Amino acid sequence: MKILVIWKALVSETYHKKLKELTKFKDVELTLVVPTRWGNTKLEKNYCEEYKIIPRKVVLNGYNHLHWYHGLEKVVRQIRPNIFHIEEEHYSFVTYQAIRLTKRYNIKCLFVSWQNIYKKYPFPFSCIERYNLENADYAIVGNKEVKDILLRKGFNNERISIIPLGTNPLLFRRIESSKLKSGLRLEAFTIGYLGRFVKEKGVIDLLKAVSQLKCNFNLLMIGNGRLRYKIKAEGRRLGILERIRILNSFPSSQVPYYINCMDCLVLPSRTTKKWKEQFGRVLIEAMSCEVPVVGSDSGEIPNVIGDSGLVFKEGDINDLYSKLKLLINNVELRMKLANKGRKRVLNNFTQEKVARETYKVYQKIMC
């Protein structure tokens, strides 16, 4: 099978592991169309022995659902794939661009959706969504809520498979303190956050919760976003600014080293009218590193964590504080959750498992 994959996230090397796993199936011949740049991130990987990588310039770079690719039709004519794997939402313009080409060249196609809130889109997205849903051969969704939404929009139940995100347990693993880069490991109990600095991620809730802790702690916050300066201002107001360390985002290959500097990782997401947590990839990365996780009950977070971490009521600062206090004071609980988290990832969230389930979808499409 010739498979053509298009996905903006492939600018990051981390996301290539699933595709490497797919090439282990002998009848899969893989080609990736990747952006030369997405937002401020330059393409990290432009060559691989297992598959072909075709970098392409993106029009409206950084706009999730409006962007499209220069020269995509030329790539399709050159590769002539059996299946066009479109790792983009069903209402995105790039999905429309790709599906139109599959109809023109008689190619099977699938899209991937993580939209877990039912929405009615304005023109032209309403027309794009309708066209894509009517012409796609298959859909991969991240969780049951997404599947229910597609069913409500009229997509065929027999043409949907639920496949969550996966991680690489060989990359995301426990790293001994002696092997961490100098200056990364902090002396006090380190509470970590890794993600966007935006309101819906609950970063201000996290500051308010940790400010109630009486013990010695550090808060390591890694990411970028419009709340960066508010985090500093709020930290100063709460009297904990000297305990906060803020770092910019960095290459994906370095993420495991920073996660291993944490004694626990917190994902305090808050549901809004337009968004709720779709998965929380950083949770499985931390769990794979044997770092205990604490997450809110927004969206898919409780289903990802299961019984391998602690869940608090979103927006409830006192509940988050109590969960953090429990972890800090109970070494045995931290060790138990660390072990359970790693096992949960190995059983449910590896890139190998994701690739195997994706391959089954390919087989189903080609039947």
Do both 85 and 58 map to the same domain? yes
The string of pLDDT tens digits covering residues 41-84 is 889 888 889 999 999 999 999 999 999 999 999 999 999 999 99
CB 123 within 8 A of CB 43: no
Rounded Cα–Cα distance for residues 320 and 329 (Å): 14
Do both 130 and 191 map to the same domain? no
> Measured between alpha carbons, how far is residue 238 from residues 192, 219, 253, 294 in Å?
18, 13, 34, 22
| 233 part of a folded domain | yes
Do both 154 and 219 map to the same domain? no
Do both 65 and 138 map to the same domain? yes
The string of pLDDT tens digits covering residues 170-208 is 999 999 876 665 555 667 899 999 999 999 999 999 999
Do both 317 and 187 map to the same domain? yes
* Nearest partner of 286 among 268, 306, 265, 307, judged by Cα: 265
Rounded Cα–Cα distance for residues 106 and 305 (Å): 41
| 172 part of a folded domain | no
Do both 151 and 187 map to the same domain? no
The string of pLDDT tens digits covering residues 139-149 is 999 999 999 99
Do both 160 and 210 map to the same domain? no
Rounded Cα–Cα distance for residues 204 and 229 (Å): 11
| 247 part of a folded domain | yes
Do both 131 and 233 map to the same domain? no
State how beta strands 58-59 and 68-69 pair. Answer: antiparallel
Do both 189 and 200 map to the same domain? yes
Residue 246 domain boundaries: 177-348
CATH number at residue 137: 3.40.50.2000
DSSP 207: H
170: helix, strand or coil: coil
